[in-house]
Amino acid sequence: MARRLLAAGHTVTGYNRTREKAQSLIEAGMKWADSPRAVTELSDVVFSMIANNHALRAVTEGKEGILAGLSNGKIYVEMSTVSPAAIRELAQQVESKAADMLDAPVSGSSITLDEGKLSFMVGGKKEIFQRVLPYLQAIGPKATYVGGHGLAASMKIATNLSLAVQMLAFSEGVLLAEKSGITRETAVEVLLNSVMASPMVKYRGPFVLNMPDEAIFDVNMMQKDLLLALEMGRQLDVPLPTTAITNEMLTTTRAMGLAEKDFAIVFEALARMAGKKTGILE
């Protein structure tokens, strides 16, 4: 994302807990700041994308946090997948600084981003969305305004639960075909060229043949999102039966010591339950 903003001609100032991980961006032209506050003080529009509610508090609160650096006219765009309640609370804190905030989580992955297909869902004031839209479109081509603060977070959680459920359903189909006598490669080829192949399944489905060493989105991160969905379902009286089952399968993968793998590793857990060796971890 930072590279795309740089490529579009924007001045980008960044911070990361581990500076070495940002070195390639610094070499590409990104300016370095020593804290979230310093980034905020030097920027008109501030973006953050972190792991969970706890991490969000870590980068926003305290004397070196984002909130401390906000002032009149600045815009803060929070892009993480966190609870809608946390977003609404943070938006109130931002507005108390005479600044504005949007929640703008993304749909996609590093693969989608590389392909130029990343999309945003955005919550907050519509006029602030319009002001930030050029920055978002420098990163990805599609940004949809969904309503007030927290609603984009709700939409992102609703999106991500579908990703996990789809991957489990895909795994079930592949495994059923394989145990009936069809090669796994053939089953994957057929399913990826069928009507059930979503963009996510198309790039993640092949992981059941060859699991990458580095996860695009690991089990713990996906389970965090499913737990957010299940809590929303409880609050809103929306039954989420397939989400609940998929969440239990992710717990199974963690029990098998596979938490750091991409969540597509749910196929491995399902195969072991069916008495099948997959070979994708060898």
Instruction: Give the pLDDT confidence score for residue 125 in this predicted structure.
Output: 97
Instruction: Give the pLDDT confidence score for residue 123 in this predicted structure.
Output: 98
Tell whether the model's pLDDT for residue 136 goes beyond 80: yes
* Spatial CA neighbour of 12 closest among 41, 53, 42, 49: 42
Instruction: Give the pLDDT confidence score for residue 192 in this predicted structure.
Output: 97
Instruction: Give the pLDDT confidence score for residue 114 in this predicted structure.
Output: 79
Helices 184-192, 151-180: axis angle to 10 degrees equals: 140
Single-letter code of the amino acid located at 281: L
pLDDT in tens, 202-220: 999 999 999 999 999 999 9
Give the pLDDT mean for 146-161. Answer: 97
Domains in the chain, ordered, with CATH? 2-149 (3.40.50.720), 155-273 (1.10.1040.10)
Q: Cα angle at 230 between 229 and 231, to 5 degrees?
A: 90
Instruction: Give the pLDDT confidence score for residue 109 in this predicted structure.
Output: 79
